[in-house]
Structure 1
Amino acid sequence: MHDTPLHTAASVNHIEMVKLLLKHGANVDAEDNSDSPLHLAIHAGHGKLARLLMEAGADVQARNHAGNPPVQVAAFAGLPEVIKLLVEAGSPVNLQDQVGDTPLHDAALQGQVEAAQALIAAGADVHATNNAGKTPPGPCPAKRPRERGRSAPGSRWLAQQGGLLDAGDQAGPHARAR
């Protein structure tokens, strides 16, 4: 259940309703379980609506309940064009969520190569470590047990960009020699 009509309209991609609500003073950054309308639009893959919300002044650094900024939601969803829009609007690409994952961690985890490319082109740190000391796509086995024992999709490409392939922690058995 969404707290405001704007949340509902954003989650179902009702662009005309969003325009009407914004015209009549709806709070573009209202929270619903700490998700903003921008978070919901991106999560649902509504890139045009995300652009509209950003043009209306949506906070591109707002955090949701998991500590994810909109750019991290876009990375997870595999929306490279939305990532570019967010970066142009001032979103940093190396923000970390509650477990220290960056948008690049999530893009690599989900096999979103185009999203990872957009993040790296915008300056994402391929060597960023999360709270467990893992670099992208290191979190894959812990978060996706069905993929245990194999690299995350897109990890070969990420390794070619200078990232660590299944690096594990910096001192552990999977750490790549530097």
Structure 2
Amino acid sequence: RALDAGADIEARGDGGMTPLVAATKANRVDAARLLIEAGADVNAKDDIQDSAYLYAGARGHDEILRMTLAHGADLRSTNRFGGTALIPASERGLLPTVEILLEAGVDPDHINNLGWTALHEAIVLGDGSARYVEVLRTLLDGGADATIRDGDGMLPVDLAAARGYDAIVAELRR
């Protein structure tokens, strides 16, 4: 009704959020769908550099993520840490989201402000569980380069070995 009455679809509220960013952060799929179909900018960022696309990818809101991808999400867009949506998805072990983002063409080797790729974050901030082994395998199968060193010069295999993540070490060595 608000849109029909002429409300600004890109109006800014608390924290600089657009209605679409607010709907995405609340995982309100129907509201996000309505806003996207009405032409909301899926790349508009709030005051902390979250867009609907970036936040949906970072939090595993896959239904909204797919909608943003279908409506012009900028795959090279970065969050406040200089990371693409793939990096926090990998950090959180969100395998379906990682698969969606890789299929969409997100660069698996993008390096964020911390000097980490998605591989580094999945190792350093993950827990080494089977879920993270699958994320690592998916990243590698999606073209991630296991020879990229982090900002301290460490290889992903060295980071995994230092944490005792034997299954991840084996995956990286394959």
Category of TM-score, reference length = shorter chain: 0.7 to 0.9
Report Cα offsets for 1:4-57 as digits up to 9, x if no partner.
111111111111111111122211100112221122122332122211211122
Counterpart of 2:167 in structure 1 is 157
Contact 2:59/2:89 (8 A) holds in 1: no
Counterpart of 1:6 in structure 2 is 20
Mapping 1:68-79, distance limit 5 Å: 68-79=83-94
1:24 equivalenced with 2:34 (yes/no): no
Tell me the TM-score normalized by structure 2.
0.79
**Equivalent in 66, 70, 82 of residue 51 of structure 1:** 66
Tell me the TM-score normalized by structure 1.
0.77
Query: Over aligned residues, Cα RMSD in angstroms?
Result: 2.1
Does the C-alpha gap of structure 1 residues 74 and 162 become closer, same or farther in structure 2, counting only changes over 3 Å? closer
My pick for the range that moved more, 63-72 or 112-121, is 112-121
* Distance across 2 between alignment mates of 1:123 and 1:157: 19
Any stretches of 5+ residues in structure 1 without a counterpart?
141-149, 164-178
My pick for the range that moved more, 35-44 or 89-98, is 35-44
Counterpart of 2:50 in structure 1 is 35
**Equivalent in 123, 127, 130 of residue 143 of structure 2:** 123
Contact 2:57/2:85 (8 A) holds in 1: yes
- 3-state DSSP class of the match of 2:73? coil
- Report the AA paired with residue 159 of structure 1: V
- 3-state DSSP class of the match of 2:156? coil
- Report the AA paired with residue 115 of structure 2: G
* Distance across 1 between alignment mates of 2:53 and 2:137: 22
* Distance across 1 between alignment mates of 2:78 and 2:170: 31
- 3-state DSSP class of the match of 1:159? helix
* Distance across 2 between alignment mates of 1:122 and 1:25: 31
- Report the AA paired with residue 28 of structure 1: V
- Report the AA paired with residue 16 of structure 1: D
- Report the AA paired with residue 41 of structure 1: A
Contact 1:105/1:137 (8 A) holds in 2: no
* Aligned residue-pair number: 153
Counterpart of 2:76 in structure 1 is 61
More helix by share: 2
Contact 2:133/2:171 (8 A) holds in 1: no
Q: Percent identity?
A: 28
